[in-house]
Chains A and B, each alone.
Chain A
Amino acid sequence: MSSVQIKSPDSAQADAVNDAPPDTATADTRKSSRLSRETLNIAGVFLLCVLAMLAARWINPNAGGYQQLETILVLCSFLVVVAFGQGLVVLIGGLDLSIPSVITLGGILTAVWVGADGGIVKTCAVLAACAGVGVLNGLGIGIFKVPAFIMTLAMGIIVYSLCLGATGGSPNGVSPKALTWLMSGRTAGIPVIVIFTVIGAVIAYLVQSRTRFGIRLYAMGSNPTAARFAGLHTLRLTLMTYALCGLLAGVTGMLLVGYSNGATLRMGEPYLLPSVAAVVIGGSAISGGRGSFLGTLAGALLLTILDMIISSLGFSQGWRTVISGAIILFAILLQHEGAMDYLRSLKGRNSTT
């Protein structure tokens, strides 16, 4: 069973479904219906994005144009990067709560230490530091068996207080010129960051669904014991996943510095809950083993669009928050069938053990 699981994510999921008592159809038709259902979910979220844009145009004729689309794409780049990392961690059944602190770490080191002149070596050192936080997370979770929730929460607090202590509360410094160009420059009429985000998204999709690394993560997430018996080095995979998540959070911190030309201690905070929300709206199972980057991408896009539309409506902050919560709930309710599938696969897994 486990050897089948590492072939591809799709077959891993189909396998989990096949564990359920064979009551209706053959495995083949179930696999295809299973696949189309997942695609349908993602398409549903993308459709919701389009509807939201149309609604914005209907409410305010000036909104929803090309200009706004461009702003949304620029703004969603932060969330896409950070949610990709969160999505990988969720895929192996974990959760990374240290993300906001690592974003802050990356941002502060970039603004204060790297500074305006930039420098490849220093930039790489910053990213290495952020990945290092992830490695520490992975060590605690993989070796000392500290629950991911607690390990990353504690690391987040530790990193944050280090940032606080080192900067004395008010970091200063400016963005490296290259980053400013990345965030505000244009080539061929398109913002540079949008091009980078699109390329990054394609790479992220390939990493999660088409590389050996990504497929092993699916296997590990759907059944860690089976994955270990199948010969996967689960500790190494855990370390790599959390390191990558830390690295991506660091990148987000850098992008934010480039965008706002400075760092603050609270710059990472607004990204913790959205990073989880994007992953969950995209249809990933929080218990691991199921989900796709396309879903996460759709979730991140939807959250950014909603944020933008709701803030342009002119409601008070309270009602804005209530509405965005309601829409997140609605997006989750849309996945009812998906949730049922998940339950069925869980049931099947339990009956085999």
Chain B
Amino acid sequence: MTKPSSYLTALSRSGAGTAALLYLVLFVAYASVERSALSVSAFSDLINNASPLAIAAAGGTLIVLLRSFDLSVAGVISLVNVILASYPLEDATGAGISLCLALAIGALVGLVNGVLVAYGGFQSIAVTLATMIMTGGLALVILDAPGGSVAEWLSETLTDTLGPVPISGLVLLAVVIVWAVIRKTDFGVSLYAVGQDEHAAALSGIKVQRTRCLAFVIAGALYGLSGYMLSAQTATGNPTAGNSLLLLTFAAIALGGTSFRGGTGGLTGSIIGAASLMLLQKLLFSIGVQSFYIGLLQGVVMILAVSLMNVGEWFNVRKA
């Protein structure tokens, strides 16, 4: 692994490389079917479409890195969505306040999860299942049927482009940059150490509980941001908006090369994985696959992609 010559090995190990390759293949296929795919508006559509899932997957990755699960993503997204649709705040200031609110809701739910999992010692899947159900219920209390409308300023600005670059793409870029910074901090290093071997991490002086708790808080804030982006895309409220993203989030994380055994992978891979999933859907639509069978092909591609990654990993291990 320390050998500088095996650059390709390192790239495929990072997961992000494999996911990017998959995205490239899908994009070439899509562009050859759909001539308009190369236009700025079509590309910004793709990015807009993928951004809520990508950010949710980015958040979930932090938890998967710790060999845990976080199901609360569905509840947080729904809750943020109905709040933004029921209490729309116009203008840039309003959008700013809404953003803070979205992040705060996510972080608060994350804090509850984090305290119970890290300090209480409860199973992450159990705790987050309960918080998912509760936040989903709160979303239903606030808005009992799809409706309401998100502030116009918000939905227009976040789906717009800045020159040729879609704004949602800039948000994704911001998440990637913040992650790159966090990765270098003590917390970032601790996150991987705890994910790989909790016991060894604790012995080497890492504050395991604080790392775990902080990961849940940051993940929650990212779910809040995801709900914010989703609201901008759909411009309306739906108390079950997050449910369809729940399982896709984990699929995106797996496609992005983050291991469910913890300790290997990263946010960037998950973001590209999410974009690949959404692109695959578009590709299948434009080829003219009957909508019934799109799920079938999606499932097959998911299994194949993860199997291929495992074969690649096995190959790398043999070489090393």
Residues of A within 8 A of B (CB): 97, 140, 144-147, 149-151, 153-158, 160-162, 164-165, 168-169, 273, 276-277, 280-281, 285-287, 316-326, 328-329, 332-333, 335-336, 339-340, 342-343, 346-347, 350-351
Contacts and interface: CB of A to CB of B under 8 A. Distances in A.
A325 B144 contact: no
Contact of A153 (B120, B134, B247): B247
Instruction: Report, nearest first, the 3 A-B pairs whose CB atoms are least far apart.
Output: A321-B137, A318-B140, A161-B295
20 contacts: A144-B307, A149-B250, A150-B306, A151-B306, A156-B299, A157-B296, A157-B302, A158-B296, A162-B296, A164-B292, A164-B295, A165-B290, A277-B126, A318-B144, A319-B141, A321-B134, A329-B134, A332-B130, A339-B120, A347-B199
B134 A160 contact: no
A336 to B, nearest CB: 7
Contacts of B307: 140, 144-146
B77 to A, nearest CB: 15
A122 B247 CA distance: 33
Interface string B193-225: 000011110000000000000000000000000
A269 to B, nearest CB: 10
B141 A325 contact: no
B136 interface: yes
B130 A329 contact: yes
Contacts of B120: 333, 336, 339
Contacts of B129: 273, 276-277, 280, 328
B130 A340 contact: no
A39 to B, nearest CB: 20
A130 B197 CA distance: 38
Of the candidates A149, A157, A316, the one having the most CB atoms from chain B within 10 angstroms of its own CB is A157
B121 interface: yes
A350 B199 contact: yes
B306 A147 contact: yes
Nearest to A320: B137
A325 B135 CA distance: 9
B260 interface: yes
B134 A325 contact: yes
Given A153-B247, A158-B299, A321 B260 contact: no
Interface in B249-264: 250-251, 254, 259-260
A14 to B, nearest CB: 20
Contacts of A326: 130, 134
Nearest to B75: A325
A163 to B, nearest CB: 9
A324 B75 CA distance: 14
Given A146-B310, A156-B299, A280-B125, 13 more contacts: A146-B307, A147-B259, A150-B254, A154-B299, A154-B300, A158-B300, A161-B296, A281-B126, A322-B138, A325-B132, A328-B129, A333-B122, A343-B121
Contacts of A329: 127, 130-131, 134
B293 A161 contact: yes
Nearest to A319: B141
A316 B141 contact: yes
Of the candidates B116, B300, B307, the one having the most CB atoms from chain A within 10 angstroms of its own CB is B307
B29 interface: no
A350 B203 CA distance: 12
A86 to B, nearest CB: 12
Contacts, number: 156
Contacts of A343: 121
Of the candidates B116, B129, B138, B298, the one having the most CB atoms from chain A within 10 angstroms of its own CB is B129
Contacts of A145: 307, 310
Contact of A157 (B122, B132, B254, B298): B298
A165 B293 contact: yes
A151 B292 contact: no
B170 interface: no
B292 A165 contact: yes
A147 B139 CA distance: 31
Interface in B294-319: 294-296, 298-300, 302-303, 306-307, 310
Contacts of A150: 250-251, 254, 260, 302-303, 306
Given A286-B125, A321-B137, A322-B138, A160 B303 contact: no
B299 A161 contact: yes
Given A147-B254, A150-B251, A321 B123 contact: no
Contact of B303 (A140, A161, A332): A140
Contacts of A156: 299
A164 B298 CA distance: 14
Given A157-B298, A286-B125, A147 B136 contact: no
Contacts of A140: 303, 307
Nearest to B200: A350
A318 B254 CA distance: 32
Contacts of A154: 251, 298-300, 302-303
Contacts of A160: 295
B28 interface: no
